[in-house]
Amino acid sequence: MAIVIDGKLISQQIQEELALEVKTIKTNGGKTPHLAAILVGNDGASETYVGAKVKACEKIGFKSTLVRLSQDTTEQELLYIIKGLNADADIDGYIVQLPLPKHINEQHIIEAVDPKKDVDGFHPQSVGRMALNLPTYLPATPYGIMQLLERYKIETVGKHCVVIGRSHIVGSPMSILMARNTNPGNCTVTMCHSRTANLKEFTLKADIIIVALGKPEFLTADMVKDGVVVIDVGITRVTSDSTKSGFKLLGDVKYDEVAAKSSFITPVPGGVGPMTIASLLVNTLKASKKEVYK
């Protein structure tokens, strides 16, 4: 039976480590790290994520600023706000919460963020530096996965890693990070997606599978070999008669049957999810200490 990778526990450990470091910085008269977030509209999932970020900042001693904008905010108005955050010396890093309303071009917004404050790791400069293995801010979810692999001492060198999904937020950066000459890393990586033929042939050969599709219970036991490491990034809310709330959260992996064949596996919820905010906080501390851009 698999060892369950506890993202909630590791996230708490990282936040405790950050809190100690922030306390030391403040004691020595240093600058308090300051993370800002821009929230446009009232998307429920975005509200939850940003709210958790604000709480995490308070918990570890960061300053936190939330810029709330209405659903009908124009692209030009948002770009003006971003220009102000870029120029604000007190703000070390900030995120523009995605998705944005359909009338706003997300790529225009991402490219307007100062790379020195791009703690989400989405700017083309950040992505390019990641691909070249240069100091940068790694995207929060992939960075969180790398920290889980590291802290659970999961061997990656020389392993075959299959990444299912090619989004710019998870799949594509994961394929780069797992192939880099680092530890964790040094995998032989296969990226699979909606157009991959005979997907099962690839997953059956994989030592590590990272699934980021958004399709509930997509990966089943007949698609994996014994001893595989499974990282489930998916999270989908589905209706359920067995819960008080009337819904439950499912990952991209059919958990019970795949766990029976795995050496390590992340649950949903409580696996990758909690690591996203922890990684964002790590990036913000790096920005505050000028570790990436001197």
Contact assessment for residue 281 and residue 35, using Cβ atoms and an 8 Å cutoff: yes
- DSSP bridge pairs for 118: 94
In this structure, whether the domain defined by 140-273 belongs to CATH 3.40.50.1820 is answered with no
pLDDT at site 236: 87
Instruction: Check pLDDT > 90 for residue 254.
Output: yes
Domains 27-114 and 140-273 share a fold: yes
Lowest mean pLDDT among 41-45, 131-135, 167-171, 194-198: 41-45
- Choosing from 120, 207, 232, 252, the catalytic residue is 120
pLDDT at site 240: 77
Contact assessment for residue 189 and residue 173, using Cβ atoms and an 8 Å cutoff: no
Mean pLDDT in residue range 237-265: 89
pLDDT band at 48 (very low <50, low <70, confident <90, very high): confident
pLDDT at site 44: 79
Does the annotation count 76 as an active-site position? no
- pLDDT tens sequence across 217-226: 999 999 999 9
pTM for the structure as a whole: 0.94
Does the annotation count 147 as an active-site position? no
Instruction: Check pLDDT > 90 for residue 171.
Output: yes
Look up tokens 């001893």; give the residue.
227
pLDDT at site 20: 98
Instruction: Check pLDDT > 90 for residue 51.
Output: no
Instruction: Check pLDDT > 80 for residue 13.
Output: yes
In this structure, whether the domain defined by 27-114 belongs to CATH 1.10.3720.10 is answered with no
In whole numbers, what is the pLDDT of the chain averaged over residues?
95
- DSSP bridge pairs for 229: 208, 264
Does the annotation count 114 as an active-site position? no
Cα angle at 180 between 174 and 182, to 5 degrees?
A: 110
Nearest to 195 by CA among 156, 228, 166, 161: 166
Lowest mean pLDDT among 48-52, 85-89, 94-98, 175-179: 48-52
pLDDT at site 11: 97
Query: N- to C-terminal Cα distance for the chain?
Result: 46
Crossing angle of helices 44-60 and 273-288, rounded to 10°: 50
- pLDDT tens sequence across 80-100: 999 999 999 999 999 999 999
pLDDT at site 8: 96
Please enumerate in sequence order all residues whose Cβ is within 8 A of that of 246, keeping only pairs 6 or more positions apart, or say none.
239, 240
- Choosing from 6, 97, 252, 261, the catalytic residue is 97
Mean pLDDT in residue range 151-174: 97
Coil, strand or helix: which one is 3? strand
> Does an H or E element contain 104, and which?
none
Instruction: Check pLDDT > 90 for residue 129.
Output: yes
Please spell the DSSP secondary structure of 122-170, one letter per residue: -SHHHHHHHHTT-S-PPPHHHHHHHHHHHHTT---TT-EEEEE---TTT
Domain ranges of the chain: 27-114, 140-273
Cα angle at 59 between 57 and 65, to 5 degrees?
A: 25
pLDDT at site 244: 78
Contact assessment for residue 240 and residue 246, using Cβ atoms and an 8 Å cutoff: yes
If one counts every other C-beta atom within 10 angstroms of the C-beta of residue 133, the result is: 13
- pLDDT tens sequence across 184-212: 999 999 999 989 999 999 999 999 999 99
